[in-house]
Structure 1
């Protein structure tokens, strides 16, 4: 492996003689934070067997990667793990990695190249300007003690975060709120509560929090279709059994006067339909029987500039819940399957749902137009997140601790 100095063109020339070797990705595109080097993989696939020993070099003429490259192989597939240079300056770096496969011992000289060698792999690496980021950092508040537990979700109302929890040990639902952005939490005494249910969905229009669906803890095969509304003081039942089939693990959003329930699952499997209520959750009608396949499983939903926005493996929007448009332009580390999305100051933020097994590493991303995305400063990740993100008090708030007896509140610092 060698990294000699020099220059190089950014547009690779056609290489018919080397068509037997292809690369994934065919163009490396990365978005990085300042002073935050990252590792990335390039997979080369061959259609022919080379019987003689060969040596490989990946030539970087502009210093965007380090010389700590590792190459592994399995059959005719070769994986190179590369590391970006931690000293990369803010801005966009473009060029080509030159990949040499040679019969001689020194691929930097490569006097005996394999047919088709070298190959040019274009790259575009963007390092964010610190001044372009939209908060200074994330801070963590830990609370241990008589707080909400087990199966809960985060929403917001009237400028304050709201948590609704299915207290399995207490055998009832509970509603909590914080007047100090998560430093401490107070249970709201209400004269009425929704029936105990788990994996329900929450939605907010800023003035009220809505709850739908879930399943009974003692009978997880019994999926509910109830809809409730919390006005800050009490819960009101909008319907005990909506027209949509009972479900759990779904998403919900309030867009103008319309309330949407999207996807979810039952013991029979996943559902990908969309239901809409125009009378505050009392009556429902199906407006879509399916969703775009590329969206994947819907994991977060909200009101985006008067349209329904749904997050899964990608992002899709709809003005009526019936027809969806997939957006694009995502960075390589877009947080697929995130249960945390929120709008703060007309900017959409999506944070990776905390899961230490999730690969690859994913970033907090933001956008103002669903076309141009940028990564934001990451937060600590220590356990499974509760669904939901609140944008209140000029901050983003996420809670970790779902399924435990303690919780951590993560919030951005302006």
Structure 2
């Protein structure tokens, strides 16, 4: 959500930001709606004040025996009551239209976000790790998987396209990855482990900018709840409508949850394999901090996600997204892309975003600086630390062997009960 006061005082700057995001100049319309809303609000308040004053005067006139004055005042009160619904309706209509318009506008990009239309204009920040050299032709995970317990056929038979049934050591490796990520983020990086609901209400989805724009991308239950597309929703919304004490240290939360997306990527893309699923698991990172700390927190969060890839010895690169490829609620985003030798391509495995005060305004999340009476909107950040299924894919492709087996990375040994290699079924 955007600050109306900022738009009124900086209309050209706001329009330039929306144009950068591929939208239209809308400040004039916003300011006009805001003026209409404020005028209607003023009229309603003035009418209420006058009605109250006249009502008191009626009693005084009656007490003084001035029936004519009392009748005139009664007529005025009746006229005010008759006119108020029009102004109240105008206030509601302008407020609803203004709120809906603002709710559909993306966040203002940070100044250092590069220009560009799509992923082709993103800027590589750095690379890490050595790409493995194979003495055989590496396979894609979708070809390796079936013999190792990645059962696409049963998943499709049970639930349709983009669902997978994991079996045996493949399921255990998937679980072990999630546990390893949680342990690293909590024990080494200072995140508090949480176990939030995966069903949330409209307010939680709206506050984290998933509604109204992305309603069609999520699953909704018959009783009106939403299956979370990411635990960013549950974790971030946990501070909604709160005034937090001084945030000298950011609030850092992590959770491993199921996630659900009804629109799992572009039509026709990644329909094979385990990359884009309607149901998947992710270890999410969320930070709530002071505005002056959010840039440093963004860098820290991204490094925490990178640490998982480095511990697994998976080559990756950090990419700064351009304005055209950045998510709706983000003001700045880093993507981490892991190298998949079977595909011979970099693929996104984490996205870490600073949303500034965009989400905080939608959910009314504030803090009170120490020694001050005035509250300030917090800044919120979110990132994947990491997407579990995509990490499983990266391990399979990078640790595959010529016989179709997959070596288990050493750091996962404590989670695998002595299993060091996933062997293909005979």
* TM-score (structure 2 length as normaliser): 0.23
Larger CA Rg, structure 1 vs 2: 2
More contact order relative to length (CA 8 Å, sep ≥ 6):
2
**Larger strand share, 1 or 2:** 1
| Structure (1/2) with the larger helix percentage | 2
